[in-house]
Structure 1
């Protein structure tokens, strides 16, 4: 059975390169037969170097799970509560944008139900990425960005994916501990799990440790498009996918920070995911909190998936009775999906060095790994 799974995964990788214009893709599978690593395409279009195990990868919003795990570790230490209002730790910060920091809790920040707007499409951020790729965003600037537009709902009313909530969570981690966000992720997650190739990317970083793939943007903005006009509804139509791939490996990603600023490898990410999926990192109470899903349609990009605290879990009814947990993240030049059964026995981590245009790759990977056709 494992061999068939590996063959099916390899077919997905090959098709991703041949049919979906992915420069390079890798998958690391762990199952009852051990570890299998598959690859297709190249790490660099100019040199033709192949992709291989041990590459350092920017995991984008998969880093949210590291932030949530750090907050939960602090709750286990009795240093804060998920039900603390934001004003307890950052008094007055939210009011500048019309938010009520006495009603929005840390839990709301972590499960995207605080009513914060979709920060990733803030015009000033999009304009900065497009025109000032080397700009370094400070923590105070990110916190201000988080509340730079009015609320889109009342606290607890609905799920709206917002990096801003994680900027605020990162600031709370620093306020509670007196340490940097990166230092606390190191102390509570990275060191306990022995993730020797995982770190929070420094704000001024312009590269990655070797080995690493070159990251590409497959399509740039159409000629004449002003990045400030991008919205959640129109951004996809503003991309010209016929333009040649652009190397964005040196892009500054300080705007990711606590919302997605972590670098890892397929091996380290597998170890992290298995630990949080099975209860191997956090005490039982905090493990339960992490995997308490937001009710309703809390994840819009993959069918049958809901959001917890920095993590996703697929509805067992949609997975033929399996409980499959995961993390995922994307940013210019990188896409990561990591999935595991809740017993840790069957897991997969995939990475592409360009953002996929469709959901075909993750959906096909899920079908190959777990025999479920999402629809």
Structure 2
């Protein structure tokens, strides 16, 4: 993928931002809305005919976009008729749950009820540690938070997984989950390296219950869900989600339906249902230090040497040279919740993104994450060195547009880029040319960027 980067003078930035968003502070430009919907439409996995997705993108204080595409319920299971996805549907968030559990732990530390450097033996019974986990060195709460404990992943236990797949309504305890991980044996000495393990967060849920004297779900509800007014978020929900919701489909040789499942299977690491709106509200409040204080948030973001770009319930990535952190989730579906740290005209404060696909294994880094970054980082930026300009008419257009420009003494080239930053057209322009016609009849709907050497980048909308 070719990246085109332009910078913007501060005064021009302010002017363009005012023009772009004047009178529509909560709505993105139509071109951005169309492009986001195109990205979502094109992201649906072709491997499942009834795939569907929901997505929300919020630029704090500027605009908010939501969309849906395809199906919510696939209709492959008796009693669950085919339905279309809508942007406000609930879904099982998978391992995004870990962000909330980690937040609860950091809040307990902030309140003086534990330390993340305590060994888990302070809170959990000796037989669980010595007979089930059998670690070669003490495990701390920090090790659990950043997956450096060496405790095996319960999801990798084939017998336990088979039990869930054959009896999805069966009830499971936290002890069961820890056993499914511990019986596999220690993977490495605690603190030595990194290994992602759902069992770590089952253990954290047990610690929360021991410290607070209530269920982990109750504590999470009173710490996060209720204070933030997350009306569509439930910790430890019923087997069947009552509100309109996205399905959960997984191809294990043939497609299986895990939309209805006993949530005790996921306690502490994937048992929350929510919406894209609620998830972004939670995450923005977390980063704004309204759940835990600045010190605890900084600790939560700390990446230990052995932790492979994983903080404490936060996973850190760099996509297209842009910092991208939050968490993915998969429970027979694919979800994501991230903050993208950028400063562009269309996203001057960065942006939050949340999405859910009704299938396991959707390739969202390629189909969603990178295209949205490319769109919002490059879309409306202008090179501060460029002073000349050219005009497009009509704009928007369906079939063609006329490009009017000042005559030059040398030949030059017109370059056209799509919203992903990919060059889609190059056209030679002879010297002394004052206008040309650009044929866009075979272009897909959306936003494109036209570049002429020494001139401002212009935006063209094809509708």
TM-score by length of 2: 0.67
CA shift, 1:17, in A, is 2.8
Query: How far apart are the structure 1 equivalents of 2:47 and 2:32?
Result: 21
1:56 aligned residue: 90
* 1:235 match: none
Equivalent residue number for residue 256 of structure 1: 266
**C-alpha spacing 1:80/1:252, structure 2 compared with 1 (3 Å):** same
What's the offset of the Cα at 1:363?
4.0
Q: Which residue of 2 aligns with 1:302?
A: none
In the TM superposition, residue 148 of structure 1 has moved relative to its aligned partner by 1.6
1:3-59 per-position Cα deviation (integer Å, ceiling 9, x unaligned) = 444333322221223745361111111125421111111122335532113211110
CA distance in 1 between partners of 2:136 and 2:228 (Å): 34
Partners in 2 of 1:355 and 1:148 — Cα distance? Answer: 26
Partners of 1:214 and 1:65 in 2: CA distance? 22
Alignment match, 2:292: 282
Distance 1:102 1:26 in 2: 44
Q: Which runs of 4+ in 1 moved over 4 A?
A: 342-345, 368-373
User: Match for residue 55 of structure 2?
Assistant: 27
In structure 2, the residue matched to 1:106 is: 141
Higher mean alpha-carbon deviation, 82-91 vs 140-149, is at 140-149
**Cα–Cα, structure 1 residues 117 and 328, in superposed 2: closer, same or farther, change >3 Å?**
same
Distance, in Å, in 1 between the alignment partners of 2:294 and 2:211 is 22
1:277/1:341 contact within 8 Å kept? no
Tell me the SS of whatever aligns to 1:38. strand
For 1:302-331, what per-residue CA distance to the aligned partner results, in whole angstroms no more than 9, with x for missing partners? Answer: xxxx2111111234xx553x4432122111
Instruction: Check if 1:147 corresponds to 2:182.
Output: yes
Bigger drift between 123-132 and 42-51 goes to 42-51
Offset of 1:362 from its aligned partner? 4.1
Name the residue aligned to 1:37. Answer: 66
Question: Aligned residue for 1:211?
Answer: 244
Alpha-carbon distance in structure 1 between the residues aligned to 2:375 and 2:307: 24
Q: Which residue of 2 aligns with 1:12?
A: 39
C-alpha separation between the residues in 2 aligned to 1:171 and 1:17?
37
Q: Select the structure with the greater relative contact order (CA < 8 A; seq sep ≥ 6).
A: 1
8 A contact 1:87–1:102 mirrored in 2: no
| TM-score normalised by length of structure 1 | 0.82
* 2:131 aligned counterpart, secondary structure: helix
- Tell me: CA distance 1:38–1:5, structure 2 relative to 1, closer, same or farther (3 Å): same
Which residue of the partner structure matches residue 197 of structure 1?
Answer: 232
For the structure 1 residues 370 and 158, does the alpha-carbon distance in structure 2 shift closer, same or farther, using more than 3 Å as the test? Answer: farther
Task: Pick closer, same or farther for the CA change 1:157–1:102 going to 2, 3 Å.
Answer: closer
Aligned match of 2:328: 328
Q: Is the 8 A contact 1:114 1:156 kept in 2?
A: yes
Q: Is 1:109–1:166's contact at 8 Å kept on the other side of the alignment?
A: yes
Structure 2 CA distance for partners of 1:211 and 1:194, relative to 1, 3 Å: same
| Structure 1 residues without counterparts, runs of 5 or longer | 221-239, 299-305
CA offsets, 1:324-362, max 9 Å, x none? 321221112x21111123596411111111113535334
When Rg is computed on C-alpha atoms for both structures, the one with the higher figure is 2
Partner of 1:166: 201
Moved more, 251-260 or 273-282: 273-282
The change in CA–CA distance for 1:371 and 1:297 in structure 2 (over 3 A counts) is farther
Aligned to 2:425: none
Q: Mark the CA change 1:133 to 1:42 in structure 2 (over 3 Å): closer, same or farther.
A: same
Distance verdict in 2 for CA 1:137–1:369, change over 3 Å: farther
Query: Is the contact made by 1:9 and 1:368 (CA closer than 8 Å) also made in structure 2?
Result: no
1:348 alignment counterpart: 353
CA distance in 2, matches of 1:98, 1:112: 15
Q: Where in structure 2 are the equivalents of 1:167-182 lying within 5 Å? A: 167-182=202-217
Q: 2:400 matched to which residue of 1?
A: none
- Structure 1 distance, partners of 2:327, 2:199, is 18
Q: Which has the higher helix share?
A: 1
